[in-house]
Amino acid sequence: MTCIAGACHRGRVWLAGDSAITVDDGTLESMSEPKVWLRRGVAFGHAGPLRSGEVLRHTLDVPRVPGSAEIERYVQVELIPAIRKALSDDGCEADWGSLLLGVGPQLYFVDSDFGAYRPAAGYAVTGALSVGALVGLRVTSGRSPARRLEAILEAVSVHVNSVRPPFSIVHT
């Protein structure tokens, strides 16, 4: 399991993720590749199977991000189909996980069925202990985004063995 948390702050989207990975024999390891990253101006945070994260990080052809007035259309009509194609081409579309995306000032949650929405609260979580992490994001709204997200992941890691530091943080 993993925990990816995201929050909007002053026209940017901040994403944070842990480093834990469970290998086939059940061994829990820390991976050096981050679960949150930036590509062509889009922030990605992936929770799910390792291979699908690798495909998204290294082979996805991220379409050029348009002006802010066209972000919703871009996500729904260009970016999500490109994500589906990259995963399908690699054979891992059926069980790929979920994503948080930061596009300009907007945060999106992309579910396992590729439905994408903007959370009205301005923050979202995918992965382990999601409800607890959402509560944490709500009550830490006065903190700086990096400290806020790191505190949430640290709290989740205390209660979930498969979430562990170091934590990675990126922003648009």
Q: Is the pTM of this model over 0.75?
A: yes
Using alpha carbons only, give the angle 119, 123, 126 rounded to the nearest 5 degrees. Answer: 85
What is the set of domains in the chain, with CATH numbers? 3-171 (3.60.20.10)
| Alpha helices for 48-118 (secondary structure H) | 50-58, 71-73, 80-89
Higher pLDDT, 28 or 106: 106
Least confident of 36-40, 63-67, 83-87: 63-67
Which pLDDT value is given to residue 68? 78
Residue partners of 3: CB distance under 8 A and separation at least 6: 17, 18, 47, 125, 126, 127, 128, 129, 130, 133, 152, 153, 156, 157, 160, 163
Nearest Cα to Cα of residue 129 among 137, 140, 120: 137
Cross-strand bridge partners of residue 170:
15
Count other C-beta atoms under 10 Å from residue 87's C-beta: 22
In contact, 124 and 139? CB cutoff 8 Å: no
Q: What is the pLDDT of residues 92-131, one digit of tens each?
A: 988 899 999 999 999 999 999 999 999 999 999 999 878 8
d(CA 30, CA 33): 9
Cross-strand bridge partners of residue 109:
100, 117
- Distances in whole angstroms, Cα of residue 1 to Cα of each of 5, 9, 61, 163: 13, 26, 26, 7
Which pLDDT value is given to residue 168? 97
3-state secondary structure of 45: strand
